[in-house]
Amino acid sequence: EAGVAQSPRYKIIEKRQSVAFWCNPISGHATLYWYQQILGQGPKLLIQFQNNGVVDDSQLPKDRFSAERLKGVDSTLKIQPAKLEDSAVYLCASSQAESTDTQYFGPGTRLTVL
């Protein structure tokens, strides 16, 4: 079974630029999550989708971050404009159903904002 795929693996941008990350969850997984992991910390949930609907985006900085999962499969997370403090690893995870709670993580995208 293929795992969660993410791209790019690494991205370096200057502050105030825009960036987008892509995630393809495990086939059949209805729930998709985006986490931000700052160096030395545990992952923090940014947004959770159930199919193509948002379940929880309470921790998403909506003035600069946006995410979509239009067809209920893959998802894109965008930052516009980026700030220095956005430097982190952005992890995508998926699970079969909301109540299952067993999340499978992708390798992440490491973002460096200069």
Partner 1 sequence: GEDVEQSLFLSVREGDSSVINCTYTDSSSTYLYWYKQEPGAGLQLLTYIFSNMDMKQDQRLTVLLNKKDKHLSLRIADTQTGDSAIYFCAEGHSSASKIIFGSGTRLSIRP
Select 4 or 77, whichever has its Cβ closest to partner 1: 4
Rounded Cα–Cα distance for residues 43 and 28 (Å)? 24
Residues 38-57 that bind partner 1 (CB under 8 A): 40-45, 48, 55-56
* Token pair in block for residue 109: 């995208």
Distances in Å between the Cα of 85 and the Cα atoms of 3, 5, 110 are 29, 25, 13
Select 46 or 82, whichever has its Cβ closest to partner 1: 46
Rounded to the nearest whole angstrom, what is the least distance from the CB of residue 62 to partner 1 in the complex? 18
Select 28 or 40, whichever has its Cβ closest to partner 1: 40
Residues 68-107 that bind partner 1 (CB under 8 A): 91, 93, 95, 98-107
Instruction: Calculate the CA 35 to chain-centre distance.
Output: 5
DSSP letter, residue 104: E
Give the list of residues 6+ apart from residue 69 with CB closer than 8 angstroms, or none.
Answer: 32, 49, 51, 52, 75, 76
Select 72 or 81, whichever has its Cβ closest to partner 1: 72
Binding residues for partner 1 (CB under 8 A)? 4, 31, 33, 40-45, 48, 55-56, 91, 93, 95, 98-108
